[in-house]
Amino acid sequence: MPIATFLASIPSPDRGVWYLGPVPIRAYALCIITGIVVAILWAERRWQARGGNAGAVTDIAVFAVPFGLVGGRLYHVATDWEKYFGPHGDPIGALQIWHGGLGIWGAVALGGLGAWIGCRRQGIPLPAMADAVAPAIVVAQAIGRVGNYFNQELYGGPTSLPWGLQIRDRVNPVTGAPDPLNGIAQGPPLEVVQPTFLYELLWDLGVAALVVWADRRFRLGHGRAFALYVAGYTAGRFWIELMRVDQATMVFGLRINVITSAVVFLGAVLYLTLAPRGREDPATLAARQQVEIAS
């Protein structure tokens, strides 16, 4: 491949993990943690602006975050089961979440269950809380995609576009054995590919801006802001997923996440159409929390 192509492309990090003595510091994990913190802080502000009590989002996150992480991992393992339980699979690898691999659908499903538990404990209507956290969640997803960049994963096919991503071999610096996750890049780039992680990152930020604008303009409530986030995200995930070339479970000749995106998109649009207009009374939200706490 011409040298000029590499000069006009995006370099990939030479590694995704650093060591503080024997302790590995993984970029992927740092991005996930950063995304969660940013989401909680922003959602807290949005919840209070809608009339809710301070601290409610943080309290609910105690349930939603671990549920979401478990759900995200379960979905990933279920849809890439051959990687872990196939003829040459690594069953232990199914538990190694720090190596990457979180499915958003499982994270939203089980995370939603955790949020529902937290909301019930505080007497908060789940749809109202979902509207407050919606743009914060998609920004957290965008931050998480930076972790995929450091892991050098989730990319598309070869390209000559100036924003193509360089892919390099990573090897163990001691043994010289291939080690895509823990190794250090050696030698020149092997190829330049579509940076689908970057496309999704930018799309996610656009969806967050759309939800914030629509929420202010139309005073979305009763879960409609969350439904808009889901519809916007899945619309982007549909076409971005079609560009990816990493191994995936296929259904009807399509990647399973393409099918899931289409189904979830239709469900979100249906909910957005049928849900009640307007927004919950702020005084009611705060009062329900206070009554629950008092009891």
* Domain boundary assignment for the chain: 26-156+208-294
pLDDT digits (tens, 9 = 90+) for 73-96: 888 888 777 778 777 777 877 777
- CA–CA separation, 163 and 183 (whole Å): 24
Cβ neighbors of 112 (< 8 A, separation 6 or more) are 64, 126, 130
User: In this structure, how many other beta carbons lie within 10 angstroms of the beta carbon of residue 223?
Assistant: 22
Task: Out of 73-77, 138-142, 195-199, pick the least confident.
Answer: 73-77
Residues 6+ apart with CB under 8 A from 207: 135, 138, 229, 232, 233, 236
Pick the residue with more confidence: 154 or 60?
A: 60
Q: Alpha-carbon distance 71 to 108, whole Å?
A: 8
More confident residue, 81 or 23: 23
Higher pLDDT among residues 254 and 5, named by residue: 254
Secondary structure string (H, E, C) spanning the chain: CCHHHHHCCECCCCCCEEEECCEEEEHHHHHHHHHHHHHHHHHHHHHHHCCCCCCHHHHHHHHHHHHHHHHHHHHHHHHCHHHHHCCCCCHHHHHCHHHCCCCHHHHHHHHHHHHHHHHHHHCCCHHHHHHHHHHHHHHHHHHHHHHHHHHCCCCECECCCCCCEEEEEEECCCCCCECCCCCEEEEEEEEEECCHHHHHHHHHHHHHHHHHHHHHHHCCCCCHHHHHHHHHHHHHHHHHHHHECCCCCEECCEEHHHHHHHHHHHHHHHHHHHCCCCCCCHHHHHHHHHHHHHC
pLDDT over 90 (residue 2): no
The label of the residue with tokens 């163990």 reads 172
Instruction: Flag whether pLDDT at 211 surpasses 50.
Output: yes
Return the pLDDT at 186: 87
Residue 286 has pLDDT above 90, yes or no: no
Instruction: Give yes or no for a contact between 260 and 90, defined as CB atoms under 8 angstroms apart.
Output: no
Q: pTM of the prediction?
A: 0.89
Phi, psi dihedrals of residue 252, rounded to the nearest 5°: 55, 35
pLDDT at 287 over 60: no
Give CA 64 to chain center in angstroms: 14
Q: Is the pLDDT of residue 42 over 90?
A: yes
How much is the CA Rg of the chain, to the nearest whole Å?
Answer: 21
Q: Is 64 exposed, middle or buried (0-12, 13-18, 19+ CB in 10 A)?
A: buried
State the pLDDT at residue 269.
Answer: 98
Partners of residue 73 on adjacent β-strands: none
